[in-house]
Structure 1
């Protein structure tokens, strides 16, 4: 499926919101005038591409994906994936674990475990819960789906190491806004998802993200692309 680089309907409003409330973010966005949020639209492809990309570089993931797609005859459908022999998928550069995850996702789309036609009317957490019922889909992968497929505006993947590193580099010693209140129970729970070595960074990021709300997705994309300008799509 061809990539769609047209901005989501909330994009321009989000840009104005971030530039008004955060000087550091405004500077980042000014240096990225062509920032976009690319999607391929197909939920099944988004999920299996996300699995392919788990714990490897973007370049390596792209290479494995091209081989995987070729194994399926260049048309990735749940039924098509289930028809491909396991050894053939392994030959594309996929680990046995990832092959198992991809097959489980394909089964989830064919047996009614997930309901793509209902996702537009579901909250972020409801979609995440449904996706995490699939083997191999954790919180991070589900949040990538919200960002790159459904293009939800207010997603903050707090366990994403790239986001945490780029936030620390971009903001340096700039203190986050003084908290008007303590972290909420939900924020404290979210904090535990961050790598232990980056918990302090994650705590500062959570406070900063209150300024970004309800456009945390846009801020996340700006931070990702601030050091790696290559656009990513799933």
Structure 2
């Protein structure tokens, strides 16, 4: 099987005062076709080359989406071989959640971003990465407490999807990036301002990754 090395470039652009004023003056005049900044910018800068949707497809089920459209989106999220080049995860990101289910189901305001198929897609990528890199995806104790708090709220609300019933068994539950107290103990202090605000308590530093040549990468499984 051939292995490919993908390089991604990110460009940060700071607009001139004139361009910034243009953007702000018309912000209430144009509707973004995708609800985000990309759609708005495309409406303003009509002369540039637009990014096709399959290069930045949003993980989002709009309020007005019909069931047929939702089915089509779900098929796109899980297509194998992939149809989408880039899937833009919205709401609760899968790397801030657990493998077991999409945490967007446990918060009503995030239901429009919930997709088990898209969630599973990301975790396939995670599980295929080198074990050394997985350390960068570990959760902090505070985040685990937040996820459990959301799950309990979902249980109280008795959401019909029933994701709040799923018991998290993934290894990330017991492993973390920090040396704070148990996330379970944090739950009873939820909402206080004096328990995890001091970031100096933990400074997770994954080990340095040794550099390797391109020729070496061709032999990595």
TM-score by length of 2: 0.25
Greater relative contact order structure (CA < 8 Å, 6+ sep):
1
Larger Rg: 2
